[in-house]
Amino acid sequence: MANSIYDFVWNEYCDWYLEIAKNNINETTQNNLIFSIVRIIKICHPIIPFITEDIWKEFYNKRLCRQNQC
């Protein structure tokens, strides 16, 4: 399971979506990026809870994640 998540995040999300999104960053793109990374963090939480907890704290401290997104 962990390898599948890793492959998706690196080979799909990072290689494709982030690279394409860099060329067209607007509010919709930013909201989609936040939405998808939040879902990735939720999927990863059972496998790497301490790391995802730190990421959540940063999201909330920097107010990157609104209540309705997380």
| 8-52 pLDDT tens trace | 888 888 888 888 888 888 888 888 888 888 899 999 999 999 999
Q: Is residue 70 part of a domain?
A: no
Q: Is residue 68 part of a domain?
A: no
User: Can you tell me the distance from the alpha carbon of 42 to that of 29, in angstroms, rounded to the nearest whole number?
Assistant: 20
Amino acid at 54: D
Give the range of the structural domain holding residue 55, as residue numbers without chain letter: 2-61
User: Can you tell me the distance from the alpha carbon of 15 to that of 66, in angstroms, rounded to the nearest whole number?
Assistant: 26
Question: How many domains does one find in the chain?
Answer: 1
Q: Is residue 67 part of a domain?
A: no
Q: Is residue 69 part of a domain?
A: no
Whether 65 has a pLDDT exceeding 80, the answer reads no
